[in-house]
Structure 1
Amino acid sequence: MQIAHGLAGIFLALTPVAALAQSDAAPQTPPQSASPPEKNVLEGNYLTIGGGAVIGPSYEGSNNYVVFPIPAIQGKVAGVAINPRAGGVALDFVPDPKGAKVGFMLGPTATYSANRDRHIADPVVRAAGRLDADLAVGASTGVTLYRVLDKYDSLSAAVDVKWDVHGPHGGMQISPSVSYLTPLSKALVVALSVSAKHVNDDYADYYYSVSPAQSFASGLPLYRAKGGWASVGATMVVGYSLSGDLRKGGFSLVGIAGYSRLLNDASDNPYTSIRGSPTQLVGGAGIAFTF
């Protein structure tokens, strides 16, 4: 999981609403509930729009922390689920039948990343030059098991495969993840996720290598990076409905905390090993509105 400029895992900030909508938990009566709500906005078409602020590394591998805004959108329109990603969205064209024990996901995904394009706090890394932002497009697929340990939880495994189509590097990323969600009450839900990122040579060379020109400008040693596993990490998200019931919609508060460890050339390159740190932390809070 990249918890750097891209802040992958931030998409989980709206996961409590998303997963509750897609699971069998929504139409049932959760723990501590005497009766079902008058309406369930998570059935049928709905949207969740949210935003907040997160503090995280100024670039992937940085040990300088800055604050980022985090807009996000999630929902379901005409049977197509809209799931947030860091800097983008993923669509799911395979709706889960109501009450299903197993659900599947398949659809396109697109994300925008400005890693080392802005917010570079380290003057040496900044001297090496800003990188162009990339637009990555690909596919997302996965499977969800509902009612794993109780009537209301879910366990999901997914993978996103994306290619840069905007032009700076043309690299590929593969991001597998496993997430577990459980509501603790009708208003409070917790989601835990572990994930990783694998990149190809083109991606690694663009973000982790130090070219002769970059070395001359910054004083960093030359470095030629290769692809491989770039990071692994975990994220926890807590969502709380201000209406007292997530199924009623309205405003919800969201908190997020995450840890990521950079691996291989993502950790060994001079931007990380000399000027930064392979340990990447993130924390933040936001608010979402469901209708």
Structure 2
Amino acid sequence: MRKPLIVATALSFCSAPAALAQDAADADNVYDRDHLTVGVGAIYGPSYEGSNDTVVSPIPVVQGSYKGIQINPRPRGAAIDLIPDGKDAKIGFSLGPVAAVSFNRNRRIKDDVVRAAGKLDAAIELGVNGGITAYRLLNPYDSLTVSADVKWDVNGAYKGMTWGPQVTYMTPLSKAMIAAVNLRAHHADDDYARYYYSVTPAQSAASGLPGYEAKGGWDTMSLGALVGYDLSGDLRDGGFMLIGAVNYGRMLGDGKRTPYTSLRGSADQWTVGAGVAYTF
């Protein structure tokens, strides 16, 4: 059994693998060989983490596999899995580098008060991802993956570390359609929390928000669902696929208590998205 193909993370709010809908022995399967997926999507969601204002943002899709090494999308980034699974493996493992860019409160801030507090620098995050996947749980083609990303800011923005565990279950619904659900959480250290959730004296004077000193901890959790539909009617032959997804997130801890959320935004974070991808 090959590694799962990640498509939904490219839409920035849900990780979900697209797998075979039928036995690969019955037809040529593009995902069993070297392949590349490219495409574009759009998400409609909060303008910053904790905002109750929404914006539309384009999201590129890039995923592929070469000699068993996979490139899987992350929100505004990518992860590389350096451990190939055997074709008939019941359990698979993943391990490799991950990189992403965070534009949280860096641009497109619709709230005048939050914008007055000042634009933050974009963060460039580098780290490692790892996980384990169980195949063929409820049917011959489903999978359950437990994984985590650990990342450090190397651009001098928040200058700290985050880590995010997640659980993803995928199952095909037909030869042409897949569905997935994803549960994930985000843990931030004190440096991250101070940068994004604290209100410094200067920010308070500029915006009128009360001062606030934030500390690290679990700051978000989310539950997402995705459906993908292959336009040819068969996932195995590649080509064009339509993707739709919805995600509910909840701000926690100081991510919820910060004035940026509690006074100017909302702890409830809804995101919807759609996209199209082409695999060859």
Q: TM-score range by the shorter chain?
A: over 0.9
Query: 1:9–1:281: structure 2 CA closer, same or farther, 3 Å change rule?
Result: farther
1:118 corresponds to: 107
2:11 corresponds to: 10
Distance, in Å, in 1 between the alignment partners of 2:148 and 2:188 is 13
Give the 3-state SS of the residue equivalent to 2:196 in structure 1.
Answer: helix
Distance, in Å, in 2 between the alignment partners of 1:275 and 1:132 is 20
Give the 3-state SS of the residue equivalent to 2:194 in structure 1.
Answer: helix
1:28 corresponds to: 23
1:224 positional shift? 0.4
1:49 to 3, 14, 38: 38
1:168 positional shift? 1.2
- Name the amino acid aligned to 1:60: E
Size of the aligned set, in residue pairs, is 273
2:260 to 271, 274, 288: 271
- Name the amino acid aligned to 1:92: D
Distance, in Å, in 1 between the alignment partners of 2:14 and 2:257 is 30
1:27 positional shift? 6.8
1:204 to 187, 193, 212: 193
Distance, in Å, in 1 between the alignment partners of 2:89 and 2:79 is 22
8 A Cα contact 2:22 2:141, kept in partner: no
Distance, in Å, in 2 between the alignment partners of 1:36 and 1:11 is 33
8 A Cα contact 1:14 1:288, kept in partner: no
1:277 positional shift? 0.3
Q: Structure 1 residue 135 and structure 2 residue 124: aligned?
A: yes
TM-score (normalizing by structure 2): 0.94
1:191 corresponds to: 180
Task: List runs of 5+ in structure 1 lacking aligned partners.
Answer: 1-6, 30-34
Distance, in Å, in 2 between the alignment partners of 1:27 and 1:105 is 24
1:233 positional shift? 1.0
Distance, in Å, in 2 between the alignment partners of 1:165 and 1:89 is 16
Provide, for residues 63-94 of structure 1, a one-character-per-residue CA deviation record: whole Å limited to 9, x for no partner. 00110101121110122111100000000000
8 A Cα contact 1:13 1:254, kept in partner: no
2:141 corresponds to: 152
1:43 positional shift? 1.1
1:160 positional shift? 0.3
1:52 positional shift? 1.1
Give the 3-state SS of the residue equivalent to 1:131 in structure 2.
Answer: coil
2:236 corresponds to: 247
- Name the amino acid aligned to 2:192: Y
Give the 3-state SS of the residue equivalent to 1:129 in structure 2.
Answer: coil
Distance, in Å, in 1 between the alignment partners of 2:104 and 2:255 is 13
8 A Cα contact 1:198 1:229, kept in partner: yes
Give the 3-state SS of the residue equivalent to 2:124 in structure 1.
Answer: strand
Q: Structure 1 residue 71 and structure 2 residue 60: aligned?
A: yes
8 A Cα contact 1:16 1:238, kept in partner: no
Task: List runs of 5+ in structure 2 lacking aligned partners.
Answer: 1-7
8 A Cα contact 1:236 1:257, kept in partner: yes
Q: Structure 1 residue 175 and structure 2 residue 164: aligned?
A: yes
Bigger mean CA offset, 75-84 vs 233-242? 75-84
Distance, in Å, in 1 between the alignment partners of 2:202 and 2:167 is 40
1:15 positional shift? 3.4
Distance, in Å, in 2 between the alignment partners of 1:242 and 1:27 is 16
Q: Structure 1 residue 235 and structure 2 residue 224: aligned?
A: yes
Provide, for residues 189-246 of structure 1, a one-character-per-residue CA deviation record: whole Å limited to 9, x for no partner. 0010000000000000000000011000000000000000011110101000001111
Query: 1:225–1:59: structure 2 CA closer, same or farther, 3 Å change rule?
Result: same
8 A Cα contact 2:63 2:71, kept in partner: yes
Provide, for residues 103-148 of structure 1, a one-character-per-residue CA deviation record: whole Å limited to 9, x for no partner. 0000000000111010100000000000000000000000000001
1:214 to 203, 211, 227: 203
8 A Cα contact 1:88 1:111, kept in partner: yes
